[in-house]
Amino acid sequence: MNDPSQTSLPAASLRRWWWVLATCCLLAVAAYTFLFKSGDAQSRAAERGPATAVRSVPVVAAAARTGDIGVYLTGLGSVTPLNTVTVKSRVDGQLMTVLFREGQLVNSGDLLAEIDPRPFQVQLTQAEGQMARDQALLANAKIDLERYRLLYKQDSIPKQQLDTQGALVSQYEGIVKADQGQIDNAKLQLVYCRITAPISGRIGLRLVDPGNIVHASDAGGLIVITQLQPIAVIFTIAEDSLPQVMAKLGAGVPLAVEAYDREQKQRLAVGTLLTVDNQIDPNTGTVRLKAEFPNQDGALFPNQFVNARLLLDVKHETTLVPIAAIQRGTQGPFVYVIKPDHSVEVRRVVVNVSEGDDASIETGLSAGDQVVVDGAEALRDGSKVELQERKGDPTQHVNG
């Protein structure tokens, strides 16, 4: 018989070896994991640097400066011609010739069109013939009047006959004067056959073609001429600003007005304030103003929409900063001022007026103070900053 203790020995030895092998594998895996994580952590720590280092915020700064800034009133407006004329015929007749081009610039007195003059030339001839006959009758009546005066002195005719002849002479003089009126009228009709420009300006589209019969009573007319130089802009401002404008006008101060395009990016023209309307619109609380522009370059066109800016005043020697530096908080506007140690402090300011990219500071800043204009959203009072150059602006240098 076999000994049971001898058959169980190999199985027990085999189990021990499996336990040793499993333990070695677990220790190897644990050592690899520890070494890998430790190296990765050291690498990240090396990239971050010391944990105690304070990171600076990159910002763009600008220096407050002393300068002048304008006080403007703005309003929506439209370009309006000072004069617009619908050219019509003043006589009836056939339109023979058109001497203008659509869109042409014309001067006052330029010949635009001609109407058939022949019917009026005939009327002139008839009136001149009638006058020649009546002048002859008047001359004969005057000769007879002189004879009657001589005979009356000789007591050869009665006084009544002399008076009758005198009345006949006066009658013929009236007829001759009426004939002269007919002649002048016929000549005037001939003048009206030549249609000329009543004002200088730009001609619109032609309304009647040559060959048509036109009448003085036609509603449409032949063409429309619009004066472009000078031209006006009518715009509105709030009624609260009216007293300041009236005070300037009352003092005889000329007020400049600038016209900008729809996007308020391009200045189209510069003119002067001409007048103020005589009433306020109760529905909108605004008043209309009229400005005049030379418009030599033709930048303004009738009925064009513009943004008008009225220069009401100029503030001289005031502290100016970029408007981007102004931040808004619960306690009012403030700026971040950069101190010599490259930290920032919150400075409360009082903003006077803003114009374009600049703001006028009444109190809180002095010329030369460095203020943050870009990157302020990541700042707090006492934050460290690193000055950088403004992107896309090679002329903007680091201040500090």
* pLDDT, tens digit (0-9, with 9 covering 90-100), for 254-275: 999 999 998 888 999 999 999 9
Rounded-to-integer distance, Cα 151 and Cα 100, Å: 68
Q: For residues 205-210, give the mean pLDDT.
A: 93
- Which residue has better confidence, 17 or 62? 62
Q: What are phi and psi of 98, to 5 degrees?
A: -115, 120
Q: Where in the chain is the domain with CATH 2.40.50.100?
A: 91-116+194-225
Q: Is residue 40 scored above 60 in pLDDT?
A: no
Least confident residue range of 27-41, 103-117, 280-294: 27-41
- pLDDT tens by residue, 108-136: 999 999 999 999 999 999 999 999 999 99
Mean pLDDT of 65-75: 90
Give the start-end residues of each E strand in 116-266. Answer: 194-196, 201-203, 213-214, 223-226, 231-238, 256-260
Q: Kindly report, as residue ranges, where domains of CATH 1.10.287 are found in the chain.
A: 117-192
pLDDT higher than threshold 70 for residue 292: yes
336: which 2 tokens? 């971040």
As assigned by CATH, the class of the 91-116+194-225 domain is mainly beta
pTM score of the predicted model: 0.67
pLDDT score recorded for residue 43: 42
Superfamily per CATH, domain 72-82+226-314: Efflux pump adaptor protein, beta barrel domain (2.40.30.170)
Return residue ranges of the chain for CATH 2.40.420.20. 57-70+317-387
CB 262 within 8 A of CB 79: no
Mean pLDDT within 16-36: 63
Query: What's the whole-number mean pLDDT along residues 229-243?
Result: 94
pLDDT attached to residue 379 = 86
267 beta partners: 260
Q: What does the block give as tokens for 68?
A: 């002048």
Please say whether the structural domain 57-70+317-387 has been given the CATH code 3.40.50.920. no
pLDDT at 390: 67
Structure tokens at 81: 């011609």
CA angle, residues 235, 240, 242, in degrees to nearest 5: 55
Assigned CATH class of 117-192: mainly alpha
Model confidence at 38, pLDDT cuts 50, 70, 90, reads: very low
